[in-house]
Chains A and B, each alone.
Chain A
Amino acid sequence: MTDDILTLDSVSYRYPDGTQALDNCSIRIRRGARIAVLGTNGAGKTTMFLHLNGILRPSTGQASLNGVRLDYSRSGLKSLRSQVGLVFQNPDSQLFSASVREDVSFGPMNMGLTESEVRRRVEEALLAVGMTENAERPVHNLSYGQKKRVCIAGVLAMQPEVVVLDEPMAGLDATMQEELTAILDLLHKSGMTIIIATHDLDFAYGWADEAIVLQSGRLLASGNATEILTQENVCKVLGAKPLVAEINRQLSLIGIDLRDIDYMPRTKRELLQAISAQTRQEN
């Protein structure tokens, strides 16, 4: 087994209407990593995701899972899609059955599992996203945040090795975002590889191990998230810098070096802790 679970090698994709959505993209997804994919609207994030799940086939180049070139036959796709789960941005385009439990059962039923196994997985997935109490409710009576959770449960019930989420935080309130982050942490700890498309630079900086930045279908940069997301050219394209990194830099300019403590703060919480630790030391 190779270290990379998913790879794209010089993948280009042109939509039937002529739009060149991906242009010679090569990326590696390390097993068990948390990966943030960034890029302006229309940079090709969603198109890339559709390649990972075999919905789209590269016009040129190739995609591989565990070092083996993707097999686009019926059975090949079935096995690929049970290993790589895709959560779409708009929950209304993913949910199509009448009740929550039914919808979550859709994926595992497609995998052809036994009824008792499906039942077990559905309950597990509902529990993981905290929707057990709403299992009987019709989908259209749920709030946006709840629909989002059902979408995630629908993918979790298939027990994939990789979960790909397209802008999962969009439209969620702060509490819901925190809860979703907790769910993602749980999945990460269980060994899942998680890929997220996001516009939230601060979230990406604090959460991801690795970052992939796309610009008009081309790969602009990829690698260690803290390094990539503070690069001058990347910040210029994304139109912002991670706030925590900026504060670190400004503080060091006025002589407060938070690196005295043995780590570099990446999230707001870590930054606040570091500052208060620093002030305690000085007093």
Chain B
Amino acid sequence: MLTEQSAYSNRWRQVSPVAKGFFSLCGMVAAFTSSSPRAALLVSLTMTAAAVLGAGIPTVRYLRIATTPLLFLLASGLSLLVSLDFGNPVTGVSLHMAQSEIPRVLQVSCRSLACLTALLFLALSTPLSDIIALLRRCKVPATLLDMMTLCYRTLFVLSEAVHETMTAQSARLGYVSLPIALRSLGGLVSNLIVQVWQRSMALHTAAEARGNDGALRFLENRYAGSPQHITIAVASGVAMIALTVLLP
């Protein structure tokens, strides 16, 4: 929900999604062209600055959103460093850390961080409807985009249904002890499956009633001043890539 709020109410909301999308893409390319961890870190810093200073996402909120993926990144970085060894004569199995792997792991982690911040920049500055419209222009298959649209909308309908059912269950003491909570949870899940089925039928009927015959078509938003924004995004994005290539 935090991501959603930022996407709709940031300073760069009215900037063309093409510009933001291209800049984010440049960030990801730069992550791969950077030859050293230092360059990749620089890309991460640039993308974070673009989100926090440019789009005006509050720092605390940015950190809260970034925490979860950062934890995943940390976990995967550590697991790359540590490996299991089955040849230990005493215990049979042992953990050991490969010193020689450190530079490579550092490089991979920094690159991932750069990609992560680039993606976060796009997600926090652009509503999903704009991103989908952008992907449509990039000729991504319509079926995939229709599924994205429906998933996105259904996510909120579902989370509301979950919330309502859980509140109703709690009101009748559905979560007072662990066994009861487990039973309630079971009830919630089975109820949700039926609800999802019914809601999807209702959505289908509603789409049909408005003359739909398969593909979902919507009007795209228009953005004022897009050419300038796109020019700035292209220039800064390409400069960033060039810098990572040149930086030792």
Contact = CB atoms under 8 A, between A and B. Distances in A.
Contacts, number: 105
B66 interface: no
A96 B206 contact: yes
Interface in A44-76: 50, 53, 55, 74
B247 to A, nearest CB: 39
B231 interface: no
Interface class of chain A by DSSP: helix
A47 to B, nearest CB: 12
User: Which size bracket describes the interface of B in this complex?
Assistant: 20 to 34
Nearest to B199: A93
B210 A110 contact: yes
B211 A98 contact: no
Interface in A77-128: 77-78, 81-82, 85-86, 88, 90, 92-99, 101-103, 105-107, 109-111, 115, 118-119, 122
A269 interface: no
Interface residues of A, number: 42
B129 interface: yes
B219 A118 contact: yes
A249 interface: no
Interface stretch (A133-141, A200-208, A210-218, A228-236): A133-141
A53 B218 contact: no
Contacts of B153: 95-98, 139-140
B127 A97 contact: no
A138 to B, nearest CB: 6
B193 to A, nearest CB: 17
Given A50-B205, A122-B219, A99 B210 contact: no
B202 A88 contact: yes
5 closest A-B pairs by CB: A93-B202, A98-B129, A105-B219, A140-B156, A109-B217
Given A86-B209, A99-B221, A109-B218, 18 more contacts: A55-B208, A86-B210, A93-B202, A96-B154, A97-B153, A98-B149, A98-B153, A99-B127, A99-B129, A106-B216, A107-B210, A109-B219, A110-B210, A122-B219, A136-B221, A139-B156, A155-B210, A158-B210
11 contacts: A53-B209, A55-B209, A78-B211, A81-B209, A85-B210, A98-B149, A98-B153, A105-B219, A109-B219, A110-B217, A122-B219
